[in-house]
Amino acid sequence: MVLFTPAELGSLSLPNRFVRSATAERMATAAGRPLPALLDLYRQLVSGGVGLIITGHMYVDAGGKCHPEMTGIHEDDLIPDLAALVDGVHEVGGKVAVQINHGGMQCSRDTVAQTVAPSDINVEFLQQPARALTEEEIGETIRAFAQAAGRARLAGFDAVQLHGAHGYLINQFLSPYVNRRTDAWGGSLENRMRFLREVCRAVRVEVGEDYPVFIKLGLADSPDLEPGLSLEDGLAVVAACSDMKLDGVEVSGGIGGSRNLNSPTRIRRPDDEAYFRAWARAAREVSSDGAVALPIMLVGGLRSLPVMEDVLASGDADFISLCRPLICEPDLPARLRAGQERATCISGNRCWPVGVEEGIACKCRLPKQEVA
Ligand SMILES: Cc1cc2nc3c(=O)[nH]c(=O)nc-3n(C[C@H](O)[C@H](O)[C@H](O)COP(=O)(O)O)c2cc1C
């Protein structure tokens, strides 16, 4: 089985093809420091057979903190806490990449009083209107990404993943739905991509040539957003990834608007699974030039062993990335290896904490009989 074979991801050697996709664990203090429970969770994931953990998104700047209990990587002061987290994962033989993010217009009003975006925007699916970033603030935000990546390297993380999906700031710049700028940061695809290019350039200067840097990329926005990021443009961004010195792409969706584009519910049959698979196949096509192929991770609805194996065997992706199934069963890879055929997760989306009384951690809240 390809699933259980080792593979290279940039300069990282991984024991198998299972990636824990970034999952906002909500296990941090108000100052963004990781709580001990986060390390416990990561150790469970390692002993359960996950080849690479990608942390939940961490904020690069206080103005980009998406929600309460989010982990921070925005200040040097956090490096010792992050290093302790990484050391704890390495001690048990695991590998861990950190996802770095700025929420832009999607930050909760509980964490950011005035949200920012490429352009002024006020739409129903946002908690509050966002104002356009100034040219100077764009520069500061690029530096914030780079400094966060530098901290990641100092803390010992095995890699960095940029969050370029799900409607957060990098995705907002790429999307003509949000990015209505008429200066060098908006308009043509090349201009909308400038923010990502500059982030990649600044990150590379900070971490050096050999350090693995990936992106989780939303290849297209929800079709009901007019004019959203088109698949054609999303694929052009994938094609530019090698040029931007990125070492791999995790294929996902863009701005969902009021639709749940990225984590839809009720994935019950094999046909419902792997809902971004066609995009991964297209990403593979535009990013490989015969000898060199950019590693592709596929996320979204992967639930059963035969589907996962088929995705890899067909060459549509190199890695299987899982979020919700590992909230239910952190040891899912080991279970699949032992003969379990599919995840018990029914994608009910009761893993998002909805109120303080439910506790801060992200966990499966469905009654056990419903999960089974
Ligand atoms: C509770 C929860 C938290 C999530 N947090 C993040 C995150 O921090 N960063 C990210 O890129 N995606 C995040 N996602 C999206 C998942 O990584 C994944 O793309 C999506 O759920 C589809 O994969 P799945 O079907 O395996 O769950 C989150 C999803 C859920 C349900």
What mean pLDDT do residues 288-312 have?
92
- Residues catalogued as catalytic: 168
Environment class of residue 247 by beta-carbon count within 10 Å: exposed (0-12), middle (13-18) or buried (19+)? buried
Q: Is the pLDDT of residue 299 over 80?
A: yes
Q: What mean pLDDT comes out for the span 284-289?
A: 89
pLDDT of residue 170: 98
Q: Residue 46 pLDDT more than 90?
A: yes
Residue 6 CB–ligand 1 contact under 6 Å: no
Quote the domain boundaries for residue 324.
2-342
The pTM of the full predicted model, rounded to 2 decimals, is: 0.97
Burial (CB count <10 Å: 0-12, 13-18, 19+), residue 189: middle
Asked if residue 347 belongs to a domain, the reply is: no
pLDDT digits (tens, 9 = 90+) for 301-335: 999 999 999 999 999 999 999 999 999 999 999 99
Half-sphere exposure of 80 (CA within 13 A, CB side): 1
Q: Is residue 356 part of a domain?
A: no
Residue 354's pLDDT band (cuts 50, 70, 90): low
**pLDDT number for residue 268:** 87
Q: Where are the beta strands (DSSP E) in the chain?
A: 7-9, 12-14, 18-20, 52-54, 58-59, 96-101, 115-117, 130-132, 159-164, 213-218, 249-252, 296-299, 319-322
Indicate whether 348 belongs to any domain: no
Nearest CA to ligand 1 atom 9: 22
Q: Is the pLDDT of residue 372 over 80?
A: no
Q: What pLDDT shows up at residue 355?
A: 61
Residue 128 pLDDT class (50, 70, 90 cuts): very high
Total domains in the chain come to 1
Q: Is the CB of 57 under 6 A from ligand 1?
A: yes
- Report the half-sphere exposure of 311 (CA within 13 A, side-chain side): 32
Would you say residue 153 has pLDDT above 80?
yes
Residue 363 lies in a domain: no
Residue 253 has pLDDT above 70, yes or no: yes
* 185 found inside a domain: yes
Q: What is the CATH number of the domain that holds 182?
A: 3.20.20.70
Ligand 1 pocket: which of 323, 326, 352 to mutate (most atoms within 8 A of CB): 323
Contacts of 175 (CB under 8 A, 6+ apart): 192, 221, 225, 228, 229, 254, 255
Mean pLDDT on 335-341: 97
**Contact call for residues 66 and 57 (beta carbons, < 8 A):** yes
